[in-house]
Amino acid sequence: MENLFRLVDHEDFLSRRCIWVNGPVIVGAGPSGLATAACLRDQGVPFVMLERAECIASLWQKRTYDRLKLHLPKQFCQLPKLPFPEDFPEYPTKRQFIQYLESYAEKFEINPRFNECVQSARYDETSGLWRVKTASSAGSTKTEFEYICRWLVVATGENAERVMPDIEGLADFGGEVIHACDYKSGKKYKGKKVLVVGCGNSGMELSLDLSNHNASPSMVVRSSVHVLPREILGKSTFELATLMMKWLPLWLVDKILLILAWFILGNTESYGLKRPSMGPLALKNTMGKTPVLDIGALKKIRSGDINVVPGIKRISCGQAELINGEKLDIDAIVLATGYRSNVPSWLQESEFFSENGFPKAPFPHGWKGNAGLYAVGFTRRGLSGASSDAMRIAQDIGKVWKEETKQQKKRTTACHRRCISQF
Ligand SMILES: Cc1cc2nc3c(=O)[nH]c(=O)nc-3n(C[C@H](O)[C@H](O)[C@H](O)COP(=O)(O)OP(=O)(O)OC[C@H]3O[C@@H](n4cnc5c(N)ncnc54)[C@H](O)[C@@H]3O)c2cc1C
Ligand SMILES: NC(=O)c1ccc[n+]([C@@H]2O[C@H](COP(=O)([O-])OP(=O)(O)OC[C@H]3O[C@@H](n4cnc5c(N)ncnc54)[C@H](OP(=O)(O)O)[C@@H]3O)[C@@H](O)[C@H]2O)c1
């Protein structure tokens, strides 16, 4: 009790509302946060979920393009305790996925506190509690809260912020420059020459979309990329790889995948898509670089509808100069240059998370830190990785919660609750 009073310093106490949370605080209402919340619900553990946007799954609702579909079959993308509806196709659309997530939140009575961006979170050694400060952006008045809790679950995602490249002359371009997260459809680019910077899944798919809308995309491939077919002999490549990994070493699975890809897609290097020296799964595991699952872009590259170009030297007014000296006239630029975690910007901790905003411990150890800190959805294993993290975290917290509530029933004091409002 005395400790708890000490941790609320005088100045903060006057400027922010302080909230004691019975149970964990989950930061982020994307699929990872929702999965954790549902599993905690199942364990009977109360929680508070904080979300900077005004909706759940803001990445999917606000920062993705219209034609997006899940790249993996639905059984690998569903969250714990609620399968996708049977009438959903093998690869649900973004709309269907959002609809599923909304029904998920409703079923498990998950009501995030929206428009609350976590500004900082730190562990207070004296009290043994986490202090999570937020700024609420709803309406014209800025409200600040401080949540005090025993457990902190980081669910802000691997793709929390856009990566903006530092390209010489970009500011002088004069035309439209957007990041892939603001791209919706190629409709408005009809007849335009668009430079797509980046050849990950976003760059490939936006180039395809632009071409389908009769724009002329040039896609920048500055280094190398693994392109794999989405399916091999009617089976999802991901599923096949997962199956093979049960029996074979990773290097061999990589070799088999590349041979199969060569048979199905041909020699992608001949179109300017140089393959990395490391195999696709090894590269994903060591560097976190996702292979591209082709859903039609390669055909457009072969036909010349998507122009593959090397790295950019500089941009000038209406033009891109490439490293091979070629100059391209362009009307618009789409930066499909990826995303990054934002954890280092708010979490004051350096033991569990590294500077790049991912847990330091490799899979499968990166879900639990010290002092009640957890991470969900940072294993670079997409939605299925997030689901398994969520189940582990809820079980771990649930075990302690059950033991302590059993003991608390015997004692009857609830000293914390007297001084601070409670959830
Ligand atoms: C275009 C695109 C397509 C993808 N397609 C697939 C796919 O088909 N299959 C797959 O498995 N994965 C896919 N992914 C990866 C994707 O990141 C995951 O599927 C999934 O969204 C991860 O969920 P998450 O909850 O961990 O992160 P997110 O979905 O990013 O959710 C994190 C939430 O945290 C909130 N947040 C962030 N910072 C703060 C803060 N400081 N305070 C409060 N709230 C905060 C965000 O607003 C967001 O709502 C795709 C990613 C992209 C960019
Ligand atoms: N339907 C789907 O499932 C789907 C669709 C889209 C995205 N996603 C997922 O979303 C995540 C992010 O994908 P993403 O494609 O947006 O990002 P990404 O995989 O990180 O790819 C970023 C690309 O931008 C390039 N790049 C970065 N800076 C550059 C620069 N200055 N000049 C030229 N190129 C530059 C990178 O090249 P280098 O390799 O040389 O660094 C890379 O090709 C991935 O996990 C992906 O699988 C999934």
Distance CA 241, CA 281 (A): 9
DSSP assigned state of 272:
T
Q: What share of the chain is helix, strand, coil (3-state, %, to 5)?
A: 35, 25, 40
Q: Rounded to the nearest 10 degrees, what angle do helices 94-107 and 31-43 cross at?
A: 30
Instruction: Please report how many Cα atoms fall inside a 13 Å half-sphere around the Cα of residue 8, on the Cβ side.
Output: 20
Q: Are 360 and 352 in contact (CB under 8 A)?
A: yes
Atom 5 of ligand 1, residue of closest alpha carbon: 70
Distance CA 419, CA 400 (A): 24
Question: Along the 423 residues of the chain, how does pLDDT read in single tens digits?
Answer: 334 444 445 555 556 799 999 999 999 999 999 999 999 999 999 999 999 999 999 999 999 999 999 999 999 999 999 999 999 999 999 999 999 999 999 999 999 999 999 999 999 999 999 999 999 877 777 899 999 999 999 999 999 999 999 999 999 999 999 999 999 999 999 999 999 999 999 999 999 999 999 999 999 999 999 999 999 989 999 999 999 999 999 999 999 999 999 999 999 999 999 999 999 999 998 888 999 999 999 999 999 999 999 999 999 999 999 999 999 999 999 999 999 999 999 999 999 999 999 999 988 899 999 999 999 999 999 999 999 999 999 999 999 999 988 877 776 554 444 333 334
By CB neighbour count within 10 A (0-12 exposed, 13-18 middle, 19+ buried), where does 68 fall? middle
Q: Is 135 in the pocket of ligand 1 (CB under 6 A)?
A: no
Q: What's the CA-to-centroid distance between 332 and ligand 2, angstroms?
A: 19
Q: Is 72 in the pocket of ligand 1 (CB under 6 A)?
A: yes
3-state secondary structure at position 72: coil
Q: Are 335 and 326 in contact (CB under 8 A)?
A: no
Choice from 69, 110, 159 to test ligand 1 binding pocket (greatest atom count within 8 A of CB): 159
Which atom from ligand 1 is nearest to the alpha carbon of 386?
26
Tokens standing for residue 383: 């939605």
Q: Are 237 and 257 in contact (CB under 8 A)?
A: yes
Atom 4 of ligand 2, residue of closest alpha carbon: 201
Handedness of CA 182, 185, 187, 190 (dihedral sign): positive
Query: What does pTM read for this prediction?
Result: 0.94
Q: Which helix (DSSP H) or strand (DSSP E) does residue 385 occupy?
A: helix 382-410
User: Of the candidates 266, 264, 241, 263, which has an alpha carbon nearest to the alpha carbon of residue 253?
Assistant: 241
Choice from 195, 202, 295, 312 to test ligand 2 binding pocket (greatest atom count within 8 A of CB): 202
Q: Is 205 in the pocket of ligand 2 (CB under 6 A)?
A: yes
Judged by its nearest atom, the ligand closest to the C-alpha of residue 385 is 1
Judged by its nearest atom, the ligand closest to the C-alpha of residue 222 is 2
Choice from 36, 71, 156 to test ligand 1 binding pocket (greatest atom count within 8 A of CB): 156
* Helix ranges, 294-372 (H): 297-303, 343-346
Distance CA 217, CA 131 (A): 48
Q: What's the CA-to-centroid distance between 57 and ligand 1, angstroms?
A: 7
3-state secondary structure at position 136: strand
Beta partners for 42?
none
Handedness of CA 189, 195, 199, 202 (dihedral sign): negative
3-state secondary structure at position 381: coil
User: Of the candidates 94, 75, 163, 208, which has an alpha carbon nearest to the alpha carbon of residue 339?
Assistant: 163
Q: Are 110 and 80 in contact (CB under 8 A)?
A: no
Distance CA 75, CA 156 (A): 23
Residue 129's pLDDT is 98
Domains of the chain: 2-160+341-416 (3.50.50.60), 166-338 (3.50.50.60)
Q: What's the CA-to-centroid distance between 298 and ligand 2, angstroms?
A: 16
Sequential DSSP letters for 227-259: EEESEETTEEHHHHHHHHHHHS-HHHHHHHHHH
Q: What's the CA-to-centroid distance between 419 and ligand 2, angstroms?
A: 48
Residue 110's pLDDT is 98
Distance CA 50, CA 137 (A): 12
Tokens standing for residue 128: 């043994």
Place of tokens 């668009």: 194
Distance CA 57, CA 173 (A): 33
Exposure string for 73-83, b = 16+ CB within 10 A, e = fewer: bbebbbbbbbe
Q: Is 209 in the pocket of ligand 1 (CB under 6 A)?
A: no
Pairing assessment for the beta strands 332-335 and 152-154 based on DSSP bridges: unpaired
3-state secondary structure at position 188: helix
Q: Is 77 in the pocket of ligand 1 (CB under 6 A)?
A: yes
Q: Rounded to the nearest 10 degrees, what angle do helices 382-410 and 31-43 cross at?
A: 30
Q: What's the CA-to-centroid distance between 376 and ligand 1, angstroms?
A: 11
Atom 26 of ligand 1, residue of closest alpha carbon: 157
Give the largest Cα separation in the chain, rounded.
78
Edge to edge, the sheet with strand 176-179 lists: 176-179, 332-335, 193-197, 216-220, 307-309
Which atom from ligand 2 is nearest to the alpha carbon of 382?
45
Place of tokens 């920062």: 63
Q: What's the CA-to-centroid distance between 287 and ligand 2, angstroms?
A: 13
Residue 140's pLDDT is 74
Q: What's the CA-to-centroid distance between 360 and ligand 1, angstroms?
A: 20
3-state secondary structure at position 106: helix
